[in-house]
A and B are shown apart, each in its own frame.
Chain A
Amino acid sequence: MAAVPPPAARAPEGEPLSAAAIEARLDEHLDLVLSSRRTAAGPARELAAFSRAEQELVLRWVAVLAAAHAELAYQFASLAPRALRLMDEAGVEAWVRQAMDTYDGAGLYPAVAALREVEAFAERARARAAGLALEEVAGVLERYVRGLGGRPLKVEAGEAPWTDTETLHLPPVLGVLGDREGNFRLYKAMAVCLWAQCWFGTWRAPLVARLRGAGAEAAALYAALEALRLEARLARALPGARRELDALAAALAVAPWPEPWPEAARRLAAPEATAADSLELALAWAGRVAPPPPRPWEGPPRPEAVAATLEARLERERRTLRRELAALAEEQRGAVPDPVRLEAAPFALERIEDPAAPEGFTFRLELDGQPIEPPEEVRGLLTSIVQDLGEIPEEYLVPAGPGEYDAGAQPAGRDPRDVWKGMYHEEGAHLHDEWDYRRGHYRKRWCVLRELDVHPVRDGFVERTLRRHRGLVASLRRTFEALRGEDRLLRRQPEGEEVDIDALVEAYADAATGQEMTDRLFVRKRREERNIAVLFMVDMSGSTKGWINDAEREALVLLCESLETLGDRYAIYGFSGMTRKRCELYRIKRFDEPYSDEVRARISGIRPQDYTRMGVAIRHLTGMLREVEARTKLLVTLSDGKPDDFDGYRGTYGIEDTRMALVEARREGIHPFCITIDREARDYLPHLYGPANYVVVDEVRKLPFKVSDVYRKLTS
């Protein structure tokens, strides 16, 4: 495992290293990929010309990259001089990080390719510095078009602005206008024009079908004509957006299109003009009129991509709508759907005039002649279907019969274990980032985690434990009962339900002696409600084999007894795994699950598994705790040692990743706490959990009692 490179021993501080010194240090890391014909001499010679700080930067990253793959490090060393000439140090680091991310996600060759594109990267970085990156504004744009209405549209990076009616593809960086504000306006113009295409019927199914056969030129003409029509519609519906388009055209000195375009614009500006008119005109003009140059916020249309999306969506939405309607009919009538009555199409749509809608009307759903308020999903589906077809065909309103219920539903749930049979893929798993302290950066989607169930074992373990610790159970129950939220009388309050007689007597005495009479004369009842959710994360690594595992299981049994007395919400998960591609969380008790026989059997079924990759387990459980509503959220880890996994997840790396995962948890308002039996834990736990958030239990034998005891202290 590569550590941080040692400080250079052979050159005084600040002086650039000689080519020979650099070569020697490169050799240390690149040994594996060097040969007599391929040496580090070339890169070393070039690097000798740079300052010491730049040399150290390169050497540091060579060490980091070599830990991942020596070839990657060699490529970096060869390209680094070029990169240093093109970019400043921060730029070079960004370039390496991007290559590392590619390596993590896609492997060596794409990563090397990413490194080689150093010129393009530098170019993009420059544009980014001057302009605006899509990722900075994608969130705002997505919400913006969402608010405008209609089907939700995603925003993604692509070359030219275009849409497939589900995703808006916008350029990754815009630097056309000098400042960020201007570039944001341009992004917004692109987004609103593409949204208008989806909302005002440019991509209606019948039109798309006709357009597909008409050729690229007709498509370009159609896009230009539609742009004119939509500008007029925007002027009516969103005058502010239209003004911004005009301002952009002025700022970018966009020349108006020559005749016959203004004439066409006048015709298409009529309120009754539709996309069908644009299409007629486009087909008539094809071969006679040249398409005009697209304006900066426009891109070439892609009818083929739209057609593919449309086809899949129409079928999917027809099925989903019919299924939803069947459920709705059942719910409204309070009965199982009767196939005969369902055949008679009980749903109908009533058109209602609405000048704000793109078609000038909206629909009201009726069931058996009575108007009903459809649920959110159904309303969204109806809107989406109208966007595609301009209406809801009759057949869409026939609720699905019982036999059709499963059609189009998700494929049957797979056993997560099957993933390891046959081809590797990551379906059904959760992907989590992992912190690499050497890079000072996350490895994206690095760990593959699955939730599995502990196989329940009914071997009388729980009963034996309860019998053996009979006295302890009773005393724990008493202590925890005392903790339970009970009405507490607060005396001497300025207001409250009853008069505090003691206080009143004193007050009279005070008044009689001429002192001021206090107003704190009341008793107030106050229930200190416990509002705690706690998640126990149990180490199920191989090192717990034997009596540690027994102690853990006993501790859990006693803990559950105590928590049941207390009434706090709690969940228990075990964690283990081997390598980043097989991290496992074992469900022992979920939050919403009662402490049942099944749970008891799962506790006794806890068996040591493989390794301890803690970071990913903490991240996953943090996500789970985030969903729970409670004033206090606790994540308690029961462990027997340092984080440790097969593929280099040990030492500083494992500790730093775990620490970062705990920092993330704290950011979510979760209190992490650790109970461990590792006697060396005092060396690293304060670094992970903070000085007061861990307990080292010296004797495994005491663990069962200690866990409940620690929990009591922690929450009272």
Chain B
Amino acid sequence: MTGQTLRPEEHFVETEPYYEPVGDEIEVFEAAWRNQLPVLLKGPTGCGKTRFMEHMAWRLKRPLITVSCHDDLTASDLVGRFLVAGGETVWVDGPLARAVRCGGICYLDEIVEARKDTTVVIHPLADDRRVLPMEKRGELLKAPPEFCLAISYNPGYQSVLKDLKQSTRQRFVALEFDYPEPELERRIVEKETGIEPELAERLVKFAHMTRNLKGSGLDEGASTRLLVQAAKLIVSGIPPVAACRAAVAQALTDDPEMLAAIHELSASLF
């Protein structure tokens, strides 16, 4: 086995990523893309935002460049910088510039995590100008019609410091994501893992129990992603209660009382 090196521009999603639409999000995204509008995905962690982006990249046949934002992400990390190589300075494009050049989809995950000044560089790209100013080179990079900018953010953690500025959010077409309805969520868990329908249904029920605890000690309930992980463990022969403890309870909290309560919930359910 060897790792595969891919240039992001050439990273086309080849096979259809499994995605169950919850509403009309696919149509809305396509329409936004055709009209060259940027898109904002809102929703809790693990409810399928990133998967949705992969699916849309496949559907629109565009390369997908994902940047996970963090609090040290600077504007030049996105746009590009001069590097010294072999005694000369060379310009190297950042992921955003690369996505613009190749007309791909640039997906900035958890945008509120980035430094405030960073979010401002996407402003000219996100309105009808659709240009990326590259100050250091004294250039403007004009985005081709195929280019698409998408950002995501989780309104769940209500931190005063981590809020999206109005001037940023009002440039986007916003799509709201939430955990799917129980029936749909069961189908997703089943399809992703091949687990028995009966067990998938119990897992979804378990997820709802943890979501009941949101606000009484848990910041978030179990996400669909956690359920899929638990289901995978179960399919590989781990008993359901142990799988729920490892893949869900421990992932959700460190509080011993809460852990015990979640463990008892799964023990009652299976």
Residues 57 to 95 of chain B near chain A (Cβ within 8 Å)? 74-76, 81-82, 84, 87, 89
* Residue among B84, B87, B182, B210 making CB contact with A356, cutoff 8 Å: B182
Residue A499 interfacial (CB < 8 Å): yes
List chain A residues, Cβ under 8 A from B241: 240
Residues on A with C-beta less than 8 A from B74 are: 497, 525
Residues of A within 8 A of B268 (CB): 148, 192, 238, 240-241, 244
Q: Is A516 an interface residue (CB 8 A)?
A: no
State whether B212 touches A149 (Cβ < 8 A).
Answer: yes
Q: Which of B212, B260, B262 has the most chain A CB within a 10 Å cutoff?
A: B212
Within 8 A of A (CB), among B251-270: 257-258, 260-262, 264-270
Report which of A143, A498, A521, A629 forms a contact with B160, defined as CB distance below 8 A.
A629
Contact B213 A147 (CB under 8 A): yes
B142 within 8 A of A: no
Q: Which residues of B contact A527 (CB under 8 A)?
A: 115
Most A CB atoms within 10 A — which of B213, B215, B266, B267? B267
* Complex CA distance for A511 and B84, rounded to whole angstroms: 14
Closest to B162 in A: A629
Distance in angstroms between the alpha carbons of A152 and B215 in the assembled complex: 12
A654 to B163, CA, bound (A): 44
The answer to whether A148 touches B260 (Cβ under 8 A) is no
B161 at the A/B interface (Cβ < 8 Å)? yes
B264 to chain A, nearest CB (A): 5
Cβ contact within 8 Å between B84 and A147:
no
A188 nearest in chain B by CB position: B264
Q: In the assembled complex, which residues on chain A have CB atoms less than 8 Å from the CB atom of B269?
A: 238-241
Distance (Å) between the CB of A171 and the closest chain B CB? 19
Could you say which residues of chain B place their CB within 8 Å of the CB of A521? Answer: 84
- CB of B169 within 8 A of chain A? no
B89 and A147: CB pair below 8 A?
A: no
Residues of B within 8 A of A142 (CB): 261
Chain A residues with CB under 8 Å of B81's CB are 495-498
Encode contact with A along B87-119: 1 for CB under 8 Å, 0 otherwise.
101000000000000000000000000010000
Contact A147 B160 (CB under 8 A): no
**B205: nearest chain-A partner, CB-CB:** A356
Residue among A139, A143, A152, A508 with max Cβ neighbours from chain B (10 Å) = A143
Residues of B within 8 A of A67 (CB): none
B217 at the interface (CB under 8 A from A): yes
Q: Is B15's beta carbon under 8 Å from chain A? A: no
A458 touches B (CB below 8 Å): no
Interface residues in A350-371 (C-beta closer than 8 Å to B): 354, 356
B209-A148 in contact (CB<8A) = yes
* Interface contact B216-A152, CB-CB below 8 Å: yes
Interface flag for B208 (CB, 8 Å): yes
- Pairwise interchain contact A497-B76, C-beta atoms closer than 8 A: yes
Nearest CB in chain B to that of A352: its residue: B181
Set A143, A188, A356, A511: member contacting B257, Cβ < 8 A: A143
Given contacts A140-B260, A152-B216, A354-B182, contact A147 B265 (CB under 8 A): yes
Residue pair B182, A147 in contact (C-beta under 8 Å) = no
> Is A405 close to B, CB under 8 A?
no
Query: Given known contacts A239-B269, A240-B269, A354-B182, is B84 in contact with A143 (CB within 8 Å)?
Result: no
Contact residues of B: prevailing secondary structure: helix
* Contact in complex: A240, B270 (CB < 8 Å): yes
Q: List CB contacts (< 8 Å) of A462-506 with chain B.
A: 495-499, 504
What are the interface flags for A30-47 relative to B under an 8 Å C-beta threshold, 1 for contact and 0 otherwise?
000000000000000000
Task: List residues of chain A with CB within 8 A of the CB of B266.
Answer: 240
**A442 located at the interface, meaning its Cβ lies under 8 Å from any Cβ of chain B in the complex:** no
Which A residues between 600 and 659 are near B, CB-CB below 8 angstroms?
629
Residue of chain A at shortest CB distance from B202: A239
Contact of B84 among A144, A152, A188, A504 (CB under 8 A): A504
With the chains together, A698 CA to B54 CA distance in Å? 68
Chain A nearest CB from B174 CB (Å) reads 15
- Tell me the complex Cα distance, A495–B74, Å: 12
**B4 touches A (CB below 8 Å):** no
Residues of B in contact, count (CB < 8 Å): 36
Contact B159 A147 (CB under 8 A): no
A307 to chain B, nearest CB (A): 27
> Most A CB atoms within 10 A — which of B75, B161, B241?
B161
**Given A238-B268, A629-B161 in contact, is the A147-B262 Cβ separation under 8 Å?**
yes
- A679 lies within 8 A of chain B by Cβ: no
A629 touches B159 (CB 8 A): yes
Whether A146 sits at the interface, judged by CB under 8 Å, is: yes
> Which residues of chain B are near A508, meaning CB under 8 Å?
87
Complex: chain B residue closest to A143, CB-CB: B261
List the B side residues contacting A241 at CB < 8 Å. 267-269
C-alpha spacing A149/B262, complex, angstroms? 13
User: What residue in chain A is nearest B266 (Cβ atoms)?
Assistant: A240
A343 to chain B, nearest CB (A): 32
Minimal beta-carbon separation of A162 from chain B (angstroms): 21
Known contacts A147-B262, A356-B205; A240 and B267 CB within 8 A of each other: yes
The answer on a CB contact under 8 Å between B82 and A144 is: no
Which residues in A have their C-beta under 8 angstroms from that of B216? Answer: 143, 146, 152
B270 touches A147 (CB 8 A): no
A147 & B267 in contact (Cβ 8 Å cutoff): no
Taken residue by residue from 150 to 170, chain B's Cβ proximity to chain A (1 for < 8 Å, 0 otherwise) reads as 000000000111000000000
Is B261 a contact of A239 with CB atoms below 8 Å?
Answer: no
Q: Hey, which chain A residues are within 8 Å of B205, CB to CB?
A: 356
Check A140–B212 contact: CB distance below 8 A.
Answer: no
B-side contacts of A146, CB under 8 Å: 212-213, 216, 261
Contact of A144 among B87, B264, B270 (CB under 8 A): B264
What residues on A are CB-neighbors of B75 within 8 Å? Answer: 497
Within 8 A of B (CB), among A377-393: none
* Cα A186 to Cα B161 with chains together (Å): 46
Interface pair B212/A139, CB less than 8 Å apart: no
Interface centre among A140, A149, A188, A356 (most CB of B within 10 A): A140
Most chain B CB within a 10 A radius of its CB, from A192, A356, A521: A356
With both beta carbons as reference points, the residue of chain A lying nearest to B211 in the complex is identified as A147
Q: How far is the CB of A658 from chain B (nearest CB, A)?
A: 30
Residues of A contacting B217 in the complex (Cβ-Cβ under 8 angstroms): 143
Q: How far is the CA of A588 from the CA of B62 in the complex (A)?
A: 59
In angstroms, how far is the closest chain A Cβ from the Cβ of B105? 26
Per-residue CB proximity of B190-217 to A under 8 Å, as 1/0? Answer: 0000000000000001001110110111
**Which of B's residues lie within 8 Å of A, judged by CB?**
74-76, 81-82, 84, 87, 89, 115, 136, 159-161, 182, 205, 208-210, 212-213, 215-217, 241, 257-258, 260-262, 264-270
Rank and list the top 8 A-B pairs by shortest CB-CB distance, nearest first. A143-B261, A241-B268, A147-B209, A139-B257, A238-B268, A140-B260, A240-B268, A144-B261
12 contacts between A and B (CB under 8 A): A140-B261, A141-B261, A143-B261, A144-B265, A146-B212, A240-B268, A244-B268, A354-B182, A376-B215, A497-B136, A498-B81, A498-B82
Known interface pairs A143-B213, A240-B270; 7 further A-B residue pairs with C-beta atoms within 8 A, sorted by A's residue number: A143-B217, A143-B261, A144-B264, A148-B265, A240-B241, A244-B267, A499-B82
